[in-house]
Amino acid sequence: MQNLDELYAMILDRKNNPKKGSYTDYLFTKGLDKILKKVGEESTEVVVAAKNPDKPRGDGELVYESADLLYHLCVLWANQGVTFDQIKEELAKREGLMSEYKDRPEIKDL
């Protein structure tokens, strides 16, 4: 079982100790533009999977594509020197934030 902490740690290890033939190493070697292209593609695939639950994997399609996106996001963070702890700290700062928006006007259809 691999949690996000472990996945990020493994990706960082690939960055610091390049392993020939590894897909993660391939992304780091290609660099930022390639990583951004993959994050963009995988984001779109998440959207398509959510809109088309009748794909071969059914609901599993969204799970599969979401995992792909999370992996590529972790590669982007590692490439840019952003730690997973920073992401968690940012999320933690937002705890309880919703109450600040309780008087926000209802969102109308765009």
Ligand X SMILES: N=c1c2ncn([C@@H]3O[C@H](COP(=O)(O)OP(=O)(O)OP(=O)(O)O)[C@@H](O)[C@H]3O)c2ncn1[C@@H]1O[C@H](COP(=O)(O)O)[C@@H](O)[C@H]1O
In the complex, the residues that contact ligand X under the rule CB under 6 A are 2, 10, 14, 22-24, 38, 68, 71
Q: Is the Cβ of residue 1 or residue 110 nearer to ligand X in the bound state?
A: 1
DSSP state of 2: -
Q: Is the Cβ of residue 13 or residue 89 nearer to ligand X in the bound state?
A: 13
Cβ 71 to ligand X, closest distance in Å?
4
Cβ 38 to ligand X, closest distance in Å?
6
Under 8 Å CB-to-CB from 77, ≥6 apart: which residues? 8, 83, 84, 87
What is the amino acid identity at position 6? E
Q: Is the Cβ of residue 10 or residue 87 nearer to ligand X in the bound state?
A: 10
State both tokens at 66. 């979401």
Q: Is the Cβ of residue 3 or residue 106 nearer to ligand X in the bound state?
A: 3
Cβ 59 to ligand X, closest distance in Å?
19
What is the amino acid identity at position 26? Y
Among left, alpha and beta (phi > 0; psi -120 to 50; other), residue 108 is beta
